[in-house]
């Protein structure tokens, strides 16, 4: 694989991961997170 193709794939993957992290952050802000805050404090 040429480095150009690898760079494109890597940046695409990073963008996807960042977008997903952004969605999760937004869900937390909206209170729609999958794991409730209670379960987090319980495990402490």
Q: Is the pLDDT of residue 17 over 80?
A: yes
DSSP 31: T
How long is the chain?
44
Stated as kind and residue range, the H or E segment containing 27 is: helix 3-30
- pLDDT value for 36: 54
Q: What is the rounded distance in angstroms from the CA atom of residue 4 to the CA atom of residue 44?
A: 45
Q: What is the rounded distance in angstroms from the CA atom of residue 18 to the CA atom of residue 11?
A: 10
Q: Is the pLDDT of residue 15 over 70?
A: yes
pTM over 0.75: no
Q: Is the pLDDT of residue 40 over 70?
A: no
Average confidence (pLDDT) over 1-27:
91
Q: Is the pLDDT of residue 12 over 90?
A: yes
Token look-up 């952050």 returns: 25
Q: Are 33 and 24 a contacting pair, CB within 8 Å? A: yes
């Amino acid at each position: 694989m040429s480095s150009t193709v690898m760079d494109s794939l890597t940046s695409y993957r990073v963008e996807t991961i960042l977008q997903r992290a952004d969605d999760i952050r937004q869900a937390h802000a909206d209170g729609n997170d999958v794991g409730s805050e209670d379960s987090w404090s319980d495990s402490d």
